[in-house]
Amino acid sequence: MCAAYLDNNATTMVAPEVREAILPFLGEEYGNPSSMHRLGGKSGLHMEQARQKIAAGLNCDPDEIIFTSCGTESDNTAIFSAIESQPEKRHLVTTRVEHPAVLNVAKHYERKGYDVTYLPVDSRGLFDLAQYRDALRPDTAIVSVMYANNESGVISPIEKMSMIAKERGILFHTDAVQAVGKLPIDLKKLPVDYLALSGHKIHAPKGVGALFLRRNAPFRPFMLGGHQEHGRRGGTENLPGIVGLGTAMELAVKHIDEENTRVRALRDRLEQGLMSAIPDAIVNGDREMRLPNTLSIAFKYIEGEAMLLMLDQFGICASSGSACTSGSLEPSHVLRAMGVPFTYAHGSLRFSLSIYNSDEDVDLVLRELPLIISRLREMSPFRRGDEGLDWVDEHHH
């Protein structure tokens, strides 16, 4: 059992209110929203109410929301739409720190002969806007930049970046999977064409997401099938998931102040406690421009996996690098892009909190992690002489 769950950027627990909202749709409310009879009609009504809740949470029109299966599908659909609808444009701009749901689409188009510019970040995970401006070309089909990074928590200047793209008549997509529910988003003011979000990051179940599609933005369906979602996404809708997502969005809007005050204060206390108790520790990413719930911290001469296994024995759930890339021994692409020194990058942990975390959770980590790290450092082969270490550094830069 998890005593302190601090891995909310990987997934969140389903909120009790969301569970309640879903239950009828796993029971008596089993109609297909496409059916003509009363049961189907009622299901269709519930689906549209959920769409209205999501639109209200993002300040856009309900018909600009398309339900998908996840953030990855939303990201893929947006980029695919922009590229397939402008065959004469053969260039994409994205970043080195994107989620694989965007990076692997860019690589796919690169293999098909497209030009891709991967914007670098500095050591704090921030972009150079002059460099970004210079990367845009007349044949740029789309810019795709994540709203906030899943590993470092660093927030991108999406408003400025999308404005610059707009001035050049270039389509703009943002993967806002980590930002929704943690940062206020107003799509009447933010000039993005496509925005992706995912249910399981905001206390809805896994297997449901949404794509914001601005009314005049070009669109090509990614899923071909029936007439669902006004012909924009075939396949019978995941009604329990959609209803859950609608309720989760309402809750996210309600709790956004708490995320930015109480949750932020918990994160800051965790950070300060670890930094003062553990020597040779650094915070990855900018400390101002970041999500209120995220702390990415690296400890010199340690393996992240060993820390996670020992934390797990105390019921503390965290992650090293990102959940989508863990399992590989290389430091994550995000830490590499930020130039985190190799001796630190390997010992990187991400703590990501939610409104369900408490002071007790932070106390538990502050009690156990310093002891775990001193134990691991005593065992570390890296500490015996620096010659081997120089070799490691040279071979990984």
Burial zone of 107 (CB within 10 Å; 0-12 exposed, 13-18 middle, 19+ buried) = middle
25-55 pLDDT, tens digit each? 999 999 999 999 999 999 999 999 999 999 9
How many CB atoms are closer than 10 A to CB 102?
Answer: 26
**pLDDT at position 380:** 75
CA distance 24 to 36: 20
Could you tell me which of 16, 25, 70, 46 has the C-alpha nearest to residue 248?
16
- List helix spans (H) across 23-157: 38-58, 71-84, 100-111, 129-135
Side chain identity, residue 149: N
Two tokens, residue 392: 């490691």
Prediction pTM value: 0.93
**pLDDT at position 321:** 66
**pLDDT at position 329:** 61
Token pair 């990051």 is at which residue? 201
Two tokens, residue 390: 């120089």
Domain boundaries, the chain: 4-9+256-394, 16-252
Sorted by sequence, the CB contacts under 8 Å of residue 238 that are 6+ apart come out as: 67, 69, 207, 208
Token pair 């260039």 is at which residue? 91
Residue 352 phi/psi, 5° resolution?
A: -130, 120
Two tokens, residue 56: 């209200």
Pairing of strands 65-68, 209-213: antiparallel
**pLDDT at position 254:** 98
CATH topology of domain 4-9+256-394: Aspartate Aminotransferase, domain 1 (3.90.1150)
Best CATH choice for the domain 16-252 from the list 3.40.640.10, 3.40.50.20, 2.160.20.60, 3.40.309.10: 3.40.640.10
Sites in the chain below the pLDDT cut of 70: 321-329, 382-397
Cα–Cα distances in Å, from 34 out to 31, 45, 61? Answer: 9, 11, 21
Could you tell me which of 243, 159, 260 has the C-alpha nearest to residue 205?
243
CA distance 217 to 81: 9
260-303 pLDDT, tens digit each? 999 999 999 999 999 999 999 999 999 999 999 999 999 999 98
148 DSSP β-pair partners: 155
**pLDDT at position 303:** 86
* Backbone region of residue 155 per phi and psi (left: phi > 0; alpha: psi in -120 to 50; beta: other values): beta
324 is an active site residue: yes
Two tokens, residue 32: 């297909």
CA distance 161 to 193: 12
* Dihedral Cα 350, 250, 160, 222, nearest 10 deg: 90
